[in-house]
């Protein structure tokens, strides 16, 4: 059986690929949260009779804050 030349190097490569997959998944999660919030604001705007897009703006900004909070919590756990 062959032993790997440098097990630390293999472990680092494995950790790098795991973090890559984690952050790709996080980007899709952020995109989904912001998209869902904006869609919900658009849907409420269609149901209301207001001309100014209050609901779209409100839920868009709210979903951005929620997404950045999720990002902050995720980064805090990595330390």
Percent of the chain with pLDDT over 70: 78
- Higher pLDDT, residue 64 or 79: 64
In angstroms, the Cα distances linking 77 to 32, 41, 71 are: 21, 31, 10
pLDDT by residue (tens digit) across 7-16? 666 566 556 6
pLDDT for res 79 = 66
Percent of the chain with pLDDT over 90: 57
């Amino acid at each position: 059986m062959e032993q790997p030349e440098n097990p630390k190097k293999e472990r680092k490569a494995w950790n790098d690929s795991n973090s890559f997959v984690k952050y790709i998944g996080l980007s899709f999660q952020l995109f989904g949260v912001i998209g869902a919030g904006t869609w919900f604001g658009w849907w409420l705007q269609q149901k209301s009779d207001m001309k100014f897009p209050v609901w779209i703006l409100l839920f868009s900004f709210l979903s951005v804050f929620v997404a950045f909070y999720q990002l902050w919590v995720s980064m805090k756990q990595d330390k």
